[in-house]
Chains A and B, each alone.
Chain A
Amino acid sequence: MTLDTLIHDVNSKCASLKDAAALLRGMPTAEAKELLALMTRQALSLADSIEEYAEELTAP
């Protein structure tokens, strides 16, 4: 993973997380749960990207 790819991932994933969080206000519970599940998956995927870059950076 290149630094450019990581920057793109962080920017776009954080952007959709931020917008999704704003949508939660006033959302019916069932729909909110579905959205929260998507957000969780997004956050985990972002953590994976960071970890992958970190591993590549520290690899000999």
Chain B
Amino acid sequence: MAKLSILVVEDDPLARKVMASQLGSHAADFAADTASAQAKLETGRYDLCFIDLELGDGAEASGLELIPLAVSQGTYAVVMSGHDSEKFVERAYALGCNDFYAKGNEEANVGRILDRFMGRRAKSGSDLFTERFVTEDPATRATITDALKYASSDLPIIILGPSGTGKTSLAKIIHDHSGRTGEFVAINCSAYAEDLLEAELFGYRKGAFTGAGDSRKGKLLAADQGTLFLDEIGSMSLKMQAKLLKAIEERSFYPLGSDQAEGSQFRIISATLEDLQGLIKAGKLRFDFFQRIHGLTIQLAPLAQRKCDVFPLLSFFTRGGKRLNFTAAAKERLSRHAWPGNVRELKKFVDLLVAGHEGSVTPEAVARLLADAVAQEGGGAFASDEQYRFALKNGLAPAVDRVTDEIVRRCLDENGGRKTKVLADLKISTRLLYASLKRTEAGR
């Protein structure tokens, strides 16, 4: 059974002890009164909450007042009581509780509740691929299903895949299935200069550096008992890797400007679009750091390799909003698109489509909006990250050739294979056109 995050609200110390024993294989947390239970429930981190009906505070059935809060946080609320009078059972269910049982024989009671909860989760788990990570691709579904088997372990995970394939979404899903009581804390390593990244990760004390007006908690501490998601791990400097490696190994670290070590138990999930072995060979990734963050490796395929997901994703992104009707030619045009920006590009495309006036979507509108989506996704930068890294790895000339070939191929497709139109539209020489077509042919 997956490790669950469970809150037990119980004023009786002996009953808490019994519950701790029954829930031994799960992450159980305890509250003895309504105030501390409310504070814990508001974090929204619990899968289940066992609530004692009478919390010994003099008020009748005070445990009932916790039910609406638990339910509003998506927590499966279970009321346990020393008496099962109809009056309280009825009130508990009216307030939204999911289960009610009379105390006595907790081993059997708790076992039954957990089985019911898992059964319910298994049923609702069918929305994993229609709500949380939309995919109909059998290979991607199998990859994610396999990955979730490791969710409750402490094993580090690396998620590989091009930009926009859903690496962050998957990391969050793994965290949500992990039963870890702490937070999911994400940081994009490429978004910070080295010094800033260190301050973000480790935190700092007031006066640690110019501008450090107040002390600040770092991401490592924020992820205590939770998950630290390091996106774009390949962009981290060697020096930073060494510092993080030490913190991971020792499970403690020093915030900048502090001589007091902080402890933090976090699970690491990292992601990158780069080739990790290539980075190690190039001396950009420490092997010992790689070994420490490398446990399970998950490879997410680009959207171009799972075209069956384009229309389910389109439906998902337009759900509850404007209804769109794609002509057959528009569908065909969408199917041919390479989606270099993956799901992120598709989302941008849908946003443009919904914001526009088109109800019935034509291939011309698709072509125009795809161009706009690509331009907006680039944020003004003409070369994408992937193009840039390809150029660094293979040289500029092959990168330019590849871009040229893709543009030529696309223009040719959009013009029904008419080469004269391509020559005119792209303002290129016949020689360049044929050189490009030859390369494309050779590459097949």
Interface residues of A (CB under 8 A from B): 4, 7-20, 22-23, 35, 38-39, 41-42
Contacts and interface: CB of A to CB of B under 8 A. Distances in A.
Contact of B82 (A15, A35, A41, A42): A15
Interface stretch (B15-23, B114-122, B372-380): B15-23
Interface in B1-42: 12-15, 17-18, 21-22
A42 B12 contact: yes
Contact of B106 (A11, A13, A19, A39): A19
Contacts, number: 64
- In the complex, which range does the number of interface residues on chain B fall in? 20 to 34
Interface of B: 12-15, 17-18, 21-22, 52-54, 81-83, 85, 102-107
Given A12-B12, A12-B103, A15-B103, A20 B82 contact: no
Contacts of B52: 12
A18 B14 contact: no
Contacts of A41: 13-14
29 contacts: A4-B83, A4-B85, A7-B82, A8-B53, A8-B54, A10-B82, A11-B83, A11-B102, A12-B12, A12-B52, A14-B104, A15-B15, A15-B103, A15-B104, A16-B15, A16-B18, A16-B103, A16-B106, A18-B104, A19-B22, A19-B107, A20-B14, A22-B107, A23-B17, A23-B18, A38-B13, A38-B14, A41-B13, A41-B14
A16 B12 contact: yes
B104 A20 contact: no
Contacts of A38: 13-14, 17
A23 B14 contact: no
A8 B105 contact: no
Contacts of A15: 15, 82, 103-106
A35 B104 contact: no
B52 to A, nearest CB: 8
A19 B102 CA distance: 13
Contacts of B85: 4
A19 B52 CA distance: 16
A17 B104 contact: no
Given A11-B104, A12-B54, A19 B18 contact: yes
